[in-house]
Amino acid sequence: MGRYNFEQIIDRTNTDSLKYDFAIERGKDKDVMPLWVADMDFATAPEITDALVKRAQHGIFGYTYPKEEYQKTVLNWMKTRHNYEAKPEWLVYTPGVVFAISMALRAVTKEGDAVMIQNPVYYPFTNTVLENGRRLINNSLHYEIKDHRGVYTIDFDKFEDLIIENSVKAFILCNPHNPVGRVWTKDELQRIGDICLKHNVVIIADEIHEDFIYGEKKHIPIASISKEVENITITCTSPSKTFNLAGLQLSNIIIANPEIRKIFKKVMGKTGFDEPNIFGIIACQTAYTQGENWLEELKVYLWENINFVKDFIDTKLPKVVLTIPEGTYLVWLDFNEYGLELKDLENRIQKKAKLWLDEGIIFGKEGIGFERINIAAPRKTVEEAMNRIYEAFSDL
């Protein structure tokens, strides 16, 4: 074992945890094992907790705002970890990435404008587009099964055709792509960038999972592809997924284009949101200066969890088609070979296995027959979940 203990099972019940304390409210049985929403069952890096405790002991929690040091820290993280050089004045702080996407949509599109996404994708994209009165255009990812593994790619001809036919004004990129785990390559990002530049489409890049990349893959911020692409991109980042800080609500949005940035800030001003949360500021700064060792160990642990799931499926659930994630800690499982009605599949997962996963269909019709499982938990938890799935499908 390394320096940090990811095997420890921490009781998260009765902590107002969305994952653990809201099963009934969300229509699930009280005793389901939750592996749905994307937060982790690990304690954050101890350096972060120490810094938060120290700040809490000060006892005064008045208005706060990030200083130059904070900006430097965020930019340094982007530069050293993701080879992307941004400027301090490009940073805008929001209480979340979904909030930022909503602001971005209001900044760069009008009501009735078309906005493109690629299902199956993180479902709040759809809601945010529709709730803002924009038209949703979906360029479904191309899915095929090769050697019993799921493979997702972008249909670039369709990508461009849909943009032209619908006069698309903005495209929401998910990189790495939740739930299918693709880490888009330089070539793919270049093609996205070229098409968006050609047709004046603004790229809203949700790169919240940027720090969870496995093996030889590398996260490439789309804004780092070229100055031209950077100029049409709003990059949404946050330490919230990486260091398990979602409840602290702080995201760092990078907007190089001064016009877009100005409108984004203006639109955000209308919501009344101004100063970020003090604990978010402290946590982010500590994470990005002292959290790297923890993160590196965590990634090894997560990759072992992914491999555990892979081996389990290969030996005990041969009808499940796994898409091996290149990034994120979310694993996308295809149950379609069982040929079950959707209701039967859900019944087996929720009632027989007593698991609360994210049903594939919420990511779009492309997700029918799939389940997304969050493997950012101690191995014993993941093992228990996989055994429950095995039992629930053992009669088939």
Query: Is 97 within 8 Å of 250 (Cβ atoms)?
Result: no
Backbone dihedral region of 381: left (phi > 0), alpha (psi from -120 to 50 degrees) or beta?
alpha
- Residues from 252 through 291 that contact ligand PLP (CB under 6 A): none
Q: Which residue of the chain is nearest ligand PLP when measured via CB? A: 96
Crossing angle for the helix pair 68-82 and 278-290, to the nearest 10 degrees: 40
Nearer Cβ to ligand PLP (45/245) = 245
* Angstrom distance (rounded) from CA 88 to CA 75: 7
Q: What distance lies between CA 171 and its chain's CA centroid?
A: 16
* Angstrom distance (rounded) from CA 152 to CA 143: 5
- Using DSSP bridges, classify how beta strands 355-356 and 33-34 pair: parallel, antiparallel or unpaired: parallel
- Residues from 140 through 159 that contact ligand PLP (CB under 6 A): none
Q: What distance lies between CA 363 and its chain's CA centroid?
A: 13
Q: CB of residue 12 vs ligand PLP: minimum separation in angstroms?
A: 17
- Residue count, binding to ligand PLP (CB under 6 A): 13
Q: Which of 42, 70, 122, 312 binds ligand PLP (CB under 6 A)?
A: 122
Backbone dihedral region of 118: left (phi > 0), alpha (psi from -120 to 50 degrees) or beta?
beta
Nearer Cβ to ligand PLP (38/373) = 38
* Angstrom distance (rounded) from CA 336 to CA 370: 7
Mapping DSSP to helix (H, G, I), strand (E, B) and coil, where does residue 335 land?
coil
* Angstrom distance (rounded) from CA 231 to CA 150: 34
CA within 13 Å, CB half, 18:
7
Residue at token pair 């991109």: 233
Q: CB of residue 395 vs ligand PLP: minimum separation in angstroms?
A: 33
Nearer Cβ to ligand PLP (38/45) = 38
Q: Which stretch binds ligand PLP (CB under 6 A): 68-76, 105-113, 238-246, 344-352?
A: 238-246
Nearer Cβ to ligand PLP (38/234) = 38
Q: CB of residue 240 vs ligand PLP: minimum separation in angstroms?
A: 5
Q: CB of residue 328 vs ligand PLP: minimum separation in angstroms?
A: 7
Contact flags string 65-104 toward ligand PLP, x per CB under 6 A: -------------------------------xxx------
Q: CB of residue 96 vs ligand PLP: minimum separation in angstroms?
A: 3
Q: CB of residue 300 vs ligand PLP: minimum separation in angstroms?
A: 22
- Residues from 154 through 183 that contact ligand PLP (CB under 6 A): 174, 178
* Angstrom distance (rounded) from CA 37 to CA 60: 32
The yes or no reply on residue 251 touching ligand PLP (CB under 6 A) is yes
Residue at token pair 């955000």: 268
Nearer Cβ to ligand PLP (40/317) = 40
Torsion of CA 379, 380, 384, 385, to 10 degrees: -30
- Residues from 184 through 213 that contact ligand PLP (CB under 6 A): 206, 208
Q: CB of residue 223 vs ligand PLP: minimum separation in angstroms?
A: 17
* Angstrom distance (rounded) from CA 172 to CA 101: 8
Beta-carbon contacts of residue 145 (< 8 Å; ≥ 6 apart):
151, 321, 334
* Angstrom distance (rounded) from CA 362 to CA 127: 11
Contact flags string 13-42 toward ligand PLP, x per CB under 6 A: -------------------------x----
Q: CB of residue 352 vs ligand PLP: minimum separation in angstroms?
A: 26
Q: CB of residue 78 vs ligand PLP: minimum separation in angstroms?
A: 17
Q: CB of residue 275 vs ligand PLP: minimum separation in angstroms?
A: 17
Q: What distance lies between CA 163 and its chain's CA centroid?
A: 24
- Residues from 295 through 354 that contact ligand PLP (CB under 6 A): none
The yes or no reply on residue 238 touching ligand PLP (CB under 6 A) is yes
Residue count (the chain): 396
The yes or no reply on residue 109 touching ligand PLP (CB under 6 A) is no
Q: For binding to ligand PLP (CB under 6 A), which residues are involved?
A: 38, 96-98, 122, 174, 178, 206, 208, 238, 240, 246, 251
